[in-house]
Amino acid sequence: MTAEEEKYWQEHHANRPFAKPESTYDDYAHAYKTGHEAFQKYPGKDFEEIEDEVALDYERSKPGSALPWDHARHAVHAVWAKLGHDVGPRDSDRGIRSGI
């Protein structure tokens, strides 16, 4: 993951809908890293197409303290969506169109 991406997720982690009040960026760091690596590894694919492979990649490389996949999945997908510019209407940092 680039330093710029890591900084982005450190700054925005607390605002993500999956982030529990007691969670920190460090709790999700491996998930964010996995999302970044998966986006590079599976270019042009939809997340749903490769989710099983990404889950296996996550589980194979996760440190002992990392979250289980069912908790990490949302963070992995958030990175994927951001890098792919697939921003949904409920994303808090999606921006506002001017002139509407």
Q: Write the pLDDT tens digit of every residue in 8-17.
A: 999 999 999 9
- Asked if residue 100 is part of any domain, the answer here is no
Rounded distance between C-alpha atoms, residue 90 and residue 38, angstroms: 23
**Within-domain flag for 66:** yes
Q: Is residue 47 part of a domain?
A: yes
Q: How many domains does the chain have?
A: 1
pLDDT one-digit tens code per residue, 44-95: 999 999 999 999 999 999 888 789 999 999 999 999 999 998 655 444 444 4
Give Rg (Cα) of the chain: 14
Domain contains 74: yes
For residue 71, the enclosing domain spans 3-9+25-83
> DSSP labels for the chain?
--HHHHHHHHHHGGGSTT--TT--HHHHHHHHHHHHHHHHHSTT--HHHHHHHHHHHHHHH--TTSPPHHHHHHHHHHHHHHHTT---TT-TTS---TT-
* Confidence label for 6 from pLDDT (cuts 50, 70 and 90): very high
Residue 89 lies in a domain: no
Q: Does 100 score more than 50 pLDDT?
A: no
